A = this chain, B = another copy of it.
């Protein structure tokens, strides 16, 4: 019989969001009268912007005619979209990106999960903790994580960079040099962003120590404050050491339409066994041409529409809408006496669970006593224990209602489960 990839057996059985869904379903069956408010999963709720809808209809019509029909497209994406991205996402920030360094995909989750394929199995990876589970799990599958310590909730082979209230959720440089560092900024789940100076320290560290930074900028559109880099390439030296991942999901509502991209500058290199440096771009190109057949033409036309004046305006309105929720949640929780982080440059609000409760207990309290669904912080890594994530992707109405329920439940700073 074929032998399986043993690494899969090491993964804990179930997936965080599946666990949550089961608990919510069980509660609904037991309490069908409770109106549940979901502030758990980071999925958008507003419909696709009109300019995107119009571009989709137009592209669909093209696909209906012999002259307009497009079959296989370039695996790397169509030039029209790669150029619109270079022009729209980078040039306005003074960053010159060659469209040929941009690889269009069906979303950042796949790109972030797949990029590790380019590295040797012995490569050591570092992640901030808490963290988006895909970085860790994809490396577990590739045999880079060692063994899982159930009690600690961590992998022996992975370098964790704790982000807690103590360090303001700003990761410290690692004590032991890793080969590859995943950074997500603005951060999911903590909602924290890094200043230019803080991020420059990471770029400098990577250059000095020959590390590679995989920079997940999926939430870049939510940055509201000055002085926070939107792209890692705004920083000196980054294009030697950083690959950037972007997504149309959160700014433009593409979670169900699927489009993202990776920037792999010509100058980013890694090393072969015999010690010579090898550019990553041709390797990623080879990976994509072998295992991927390109993002649908109609979806790439939809993404292109995001860069029109109307598209930009509509995206900004959507982001503004969600960020109003973030402000509602922040102030609601603070008034209720809770310690709150994030939500200023990101659609995620991270809070300290009250009364020393663990994350899952707080999850149960919110669900059973208030009918609110959130995400236990420990689900994102061991340093997430004692924290909890709420998202700004609900409607204004439901978000406000959730905050009223929390306010009415009493003063949380001295709150105990009752």
Using a CB–CB distance below 8 Å, which chain A residues touch chain B? Answer: 1-6, 8-9, 11, 15, 18, 41, 43-48, 50, 53, 56-57, 60-61, 63-66, 68-73, 106-107, 109-110, 113-114, 117-123, 133-134, 137-138, 141, 179-180, 210-212, 253, 255-258, 269-273, 277-278, 280, 283, 286-287, 289-299
Contacts and interface: CB of A to CB of B under 8 A. Distances in A.
27 contacts: A1-B269, A2-B210, A2-B271, A4-B119, A5-B118, A5-B283, A6-B120, A6-B272, A6-B273, A45-B66, A48-B64, A50-B64, A53-B63, A69-B256, A71-B253, A71-B256, A72-B255, A106-B106, A106-B293, A106-B296, A109-B293, A114-B291, A256-B294, A256-B296, A257-B296, A257-B298, A296-B299
Contact of A72 (B43, B286, B293): B43
Of listed A41, A253, A255, A295, residue having the most chain B CB within 10 A: A255
A392 to B, nearest CB: 14
Nearest to A48: B63
Of A68, A141, A180, chain B has the most CB atoms within 10 Å of the CB of A141
A5 B5 CA distance: 17
A318 to B, nearest CB: 12
A48 B283 CA distance: 33
A47 B123 CA distance: 46
Nearest to A69: B47
